[in-house]
Amino acid sequence: MNNLTTSESTTKDTLPGLGASTQEIRGTNRDPAVDESWDETSTLTPALCKTCQNMFETPCELRWAPWKDIIYTEMLPHHSSPESFLSSVGQQCRICAALWRDFAREAMPLSPTSPFSRYIFADDGVLVWIKFEKRYALAKAHLIPIPTHSSSVSQDSRSTQGLISDTSTGAEEVISLAKNWLQNCLEHHATCAKADTSWYPRRLLHIDKGRIQLQDTRVRRPHDAYVTLSHCWGGAKASESSILTASNLEEYLGAIDLDSLPKTFADAIDITARLDYKYLWIDSLCILQSGTGSKQDWLDHTMEMRHVYTNCLLNISADAAHSPLDGCYSSRAPILTAASCTMWQGTPYQLYMDEFCGTHALRCSKLSSRAWVVQERLFSPRVLHMGADQIFWECSRLPLACECRPDGVSAEIATYSGCDFPFSPKVHTNDTSALHEAGRKLWLGIINHYTSSDLTYPDKDKLVALSGVAQIASMFFKDDYRAGFFRSDLLWDLAWWITAKNLESGRSCRPEGAYRAPSWSWASIDGPVMFPQDAEQCLMVSLCSVETTPLNAANPWGAVSSGTLTLRGLLLQVTSETQNSNQRRWDPSAVLWQFDDIDHTYDSSFQVYMDEKDYAFPEASEARVSLLPLMYTAGSRTQAIPSSAQGLLLLRKMGEKNYTRIGTFLVHNWKAQLLQVTDRSNTIEIR
């Protein structure tokens, strides 16, 4: 096996936008056989290596896959060796560079398999990949047909919309484009939310001819709109480089030394000024982070967070920065980002790389993994993304635009699930039934994305970082909110679960430590959770009551100190047997379940999704495990659909009356006799 791997020490002589050194991927000696992969004489697609150009020139047969409703080709060979591939990366082939970046996210050896890489055409582009033992490195090239009235494809027509020439996202031409997006939105987008000009955050940074100071808006009222910044804190050392504290508050109200600020903050100030605005809100510089009054100041701001972003003019999103030290601006290789043209099956196309041109770039940015950013993006009327390769724009009217597609990314390549701006005027409706139908889907989508994101302080912020969204959603849905759930959908949503993959990898777990939420709430879990989506299910439980105690009485959508859920349903006591009587670590797949109340044993048709990895199954003398069916789906003989039920796996310690959730279950071939014992329902209290 060739030891061609990504290296943590190759920061010198780095290709802009690639994250890999030129020495590493080009090598010191050029091999003519290897360099044949690059064709410098091409007049059609100078941004592609010869191997990638051959993909478009090789005849291939398209097939239709009715089960996926796509058109595709058979799998075909791409580069024959790692050396050929790395040579093309070094020459900045756009497709190979995108594939390299996905590969370089994890240091892995390049296996000399033949062929080394493969590709397949689908109806919307070409997918190229390298297969490893446990994962794939992928690159997606989107093909957009060029209208027949366009000029002929030539070397000079690499893009019909955006030709990127600057090597920095901080170039004047780039900021000028951002300024045009903003001005066009303000003047022509009636559906984009307008700020309440009478409301301002308690503190703002005032930018005046290079002089920066913190302004108390209660003492001196601003006279212009303000901009906000979304950024990664990046750990304690980075975040402590410049924060507002009780000890430096008076100093900052006088003046702030621009040179003392970390690069991301300084760049955000520069962007704000270049857009011709004077006020900027940065959380760590506008909210007291420590000292006298900081706790109350933080609580007050968590209540107002939705107003901070809803009423801003624009949110600057420092997508490429891992910490405040990294900056908003990025160096880049323009040839990788700009659109180019190619011919495929006799038709001219524009070629856009998912990695560089919007969709993948936003999904995989460091900032997108930050949980606080979920509500920051949802509330902001406009977002300017400072990406690693180019800048992007989002607003209600123009959901996604970038430098190479300044008029908007077309539906063909908009695979990115953009910011739906669900709280902008365009979603207001008097149809309450339609609103509720869309409401649950929207809310669960937000929770799915939110739980997949990271929190620096999850014990403190798990519910707080989403409280603004929960607050306004409660107003829209006219519903009570309890620890992450709305009352009207609570019984269906209680069956959330953790996938076996996330549990095994440790990405999802129930952490030990400070109390943050009751066991029945998804907020008690670190990591992604899933929710049932079957709308045809029938409930098997009824809600008696659900009570939570907020830490801040003024904020029922934030952190809680306790929570109790009382249900009435069919509680089935469970016994278990394992092949090894000495086995204390519980393997659900090796357990035979038998309901004490009903004579039926389930084995392979019974699936368990635990909330904890390697859960230690208690002795019968210590605690009892019970099943609480929440809902069932009736079977269909004509369509061979088995009846099934899903519900909660509950634990009750001896001597206690309350239950704790430890997982969920799904069972197929659900027996009708279980539905006929509703007279044996129990009142169950879960904490």
Q: Looking at the structure, do residues 105 and 235 belong to the same domain, yes or no? A: no
Does any domain span residue 141? Answer: yes
pLDDT band per the 50, 70, 90 thresholds, residue 337: confident
Confidence of residue 257 (pLDDT cuts 50, 70, 90): very high
Instruction: Report whether pLDDT(20) > 70.
Output: no
Q: What is the pLDDT of residue 67?
A: 52
Question: H or E stretch including 485?
Answer: strand 485-486
Domain end among 385, 404, 428: 428
In this structure, the answer to whether residues 138 and 171 fall within a common structural domain is no
d(CA 98, CA 9): 21
Which range is least confidently modeled, 73-82, 206-215, 411-420, 535-544?
Answer: 411-420
274-299 pLDDT per residue, tens: 999 999 999 999 999 999 999 999 99
pLDDT of 153 strictly over 70: no
| CA 505 from centre of chain | 18
Based on the fold, state whether residues 135 and 167 are members of the same structural domain: no
Q: How many CB atoms lie within 10 A of CB 86?
A: 24
Residue 3 lies in a domain: no
Judged by average pLDDT, the poorest of 54-63, 207-216, 423-432 is 423-432
Asked if residue 184 and residue 123 are part of one domain, the reply reads no
Q: Lowest-confidence range among 154-168, 584-598, 641-655?
A: 584-598
Report whether 268 contacts 328 (CB < 8 A): yes
Q: Above pLDDT 90, what percent of the chain?
A: 38
Q: Which domain holds residue 106?
A: 22-145
Place of tokens 């967070």: 305
Closest CA to 318 of 379, 244, 262, 378: 262
Co-location of 533 and 632 in the same domain:
yes
Angle, helix 82-90 to helix 50-57, in steps of 10 degrees: 100
The pLDDT value recorded for residue 185 is 96
At residue 678, the pLDDT reads 47
**How high does pLDDT run on average in the chain?**
79
Query: Does residue 441 lie in a domain region?
Result: no
Residue whose structure tokens are 């430096």? 248
Does the pLDDT value for residue 161 go beyond 60? no
Segment 30-69, tens digit of pLDDT: 333 333 444 433 334 457 899 999 998 888 777 776 555 5
Q: Does residue 243 sit within a domain?
A: yes
The pLDDT score that the predictor gives to residue 639 is 52
425 pLDDT exceeds 80?
A: no
Based on the fold, state whether residues 197 and 124 are members of the same structural domain: no
pLDDT value of residue 563: 98
Counting the structural domains of the chain, the total is 3
pLDDT tier for residue 132 given thresholds of 50, 70 and 90: confident
- Select the more confidently predicted residue: 362 or 684: 684
371 lies in some domain: yes
Note whether residue 12 is domain-resident. Answer: no
For residues 358-374, average pLDDT: 81
Q: Are residues 496 and 615 in the same domain?
A: yes
Residue 171 pLDDT exceeds 50: yes
Alpha-carbon span 368 to 240, nearest angstrom: 22
More confident residue, 236 or 6: 236
- Are 367 and 498 within one domain? no
Tell me which of 193-202, 348-357, 592-601, 634-643 is least confident.
592-601
- 342 within some domain: no
Please give the average per-residue pLDDT across 346-356, as a whole number: 80
Q: What is the 3-state secondary structure (H, E, C) of 594-619?
A: EECCCCCEECCCEEEEECCCCCECCC
If 0-12 CB within 10 Å is exposed, 13-18 middle and 19+ buried, where does residue 485 land? buried
Categorize the per-residue pLDDT at 9 as very low, low, confident or very high, splitting at 50, 70 and 90.
very low
Q: Is the dihedral of CA 373, 374, 375, 381 positive or negative?
A: positive
The whole-angstrom separation of Cα 673 and Cα 629 is 13
> Both 415 and 309 in a single domain?
yes
Specify the higher pLDDT residue, 455 or 419.
455
Of 404, 397, 449, 448, the residue nearest 426 (C-alpha): 397
Indicate if the pLDDT at residue 436 is higher than 70: no
CB 338 within 8 A of CB 92: no
Structural domain ending residue among the three candidates 403, 428, 453: 428
Domain boundary at 386, 413, 428, which? 428
Question: Quick one: 621 and 572 in the same domain?
Answer: yes
| Cβ–Cβ under 8 Å, residues 246 and 287 | no
Query: Does 126 share its domain with 171?
Result: no
Q: What is the pLDDT of residue 628?
A: 92
**Distance of alpha carbon 282 from the chain centroid:** 22
Are 220 and 273 part of one and the same domain? yes
Q: Is residue 451 in some structural domain?
A: no
Looking at mean pLDDT, say which of 20-24, 230-234, 508-512 comes out highest.
Answer: 230-234
